[in-house]
């Protein structure tokens, strides 16, 4: 179960509105980055995730990365996400299967340790991959 299915459109990395169904259609796992523009170290983390995203696309790995921003007044979805995944600090990377199983809550540390190869670790829990 994915929390984005109730949203008909989401913004892609260029800020363009795209159909949620199209983005999630072939994805098995989701990485959520919870952060705000005031988080220390966010720029480095975003650059690392950008590298991971390129690797995911190149290898055709069924993983999608989402940035959940805390910069604006929190709406219901943001509150729901933070409560559901017990987000107590930012930046934080949570990786979840499409069925809602948490793969890791320490994605930021794993990204620092494994670099783009972290995708292998994140996808290992997905039997279909």
Tens of each residue's pLDDT in the chain, 129 residues: 455 556 677 766 666 777 878 777 778 888 888 877 677 777 788 888 888 988 988 999 898 888 777 766 556 556 656 776 777 777 889 898 888 888 999 999 999 999 999 999 998 866 544
Sequence-separated (6 or more) residues with CB below 8 Å from residue 78: 68, 70
| Residue 2 located in a structural domain | no
Question: Sign of the C-alpha dihedral, residues 110, 111, 117, 119?
Answer: positive
Distance from C-alpha of 15 to C-alpha of 26, rounded to nearest angstrom: 21
Q: Please return the burial class of 49, using the count of CB atoms within 10 Å of its CB with bins 0-12, 13-18 and 19+.
A: buried
Which domain, by its residues, includes 15? 9-123
Residue 117 placed within a domain: yes
The domain tally of the chain equals 1
Tell me whether residue 97 is in a domain.
yes
CA distance 82 to 34: 8
Q: Is residue 94 part of a domain?
A: yes
């Amino acid at each position: 179960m994915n929390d984005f299915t109730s949203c008909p459109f989401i913004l892609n990395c260029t800020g363009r509105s795209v159909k949620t169904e199209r983005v999630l259609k072939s994805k098995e796992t989701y990485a959520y980055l919870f952060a705000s523009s005031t988080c220390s170290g966010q720029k480095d983390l975003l650059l690392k995730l950008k590298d991971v995203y390129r690797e995911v696309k190149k290898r055709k790995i069924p993983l999608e990365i989402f940035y959940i921003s805390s910069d604006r007044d929190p709406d219901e979805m943001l509150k729901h996400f933070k409560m559901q995944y017990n987000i107590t600090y930012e930046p934080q990377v949570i990786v979840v299967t499409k069925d809602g199983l948490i793969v890791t809550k320490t994605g930021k540390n794993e990204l620092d340790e494994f670099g783009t190869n972290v995708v292998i670790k994140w996808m290992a829990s997905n039997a279909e991959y």
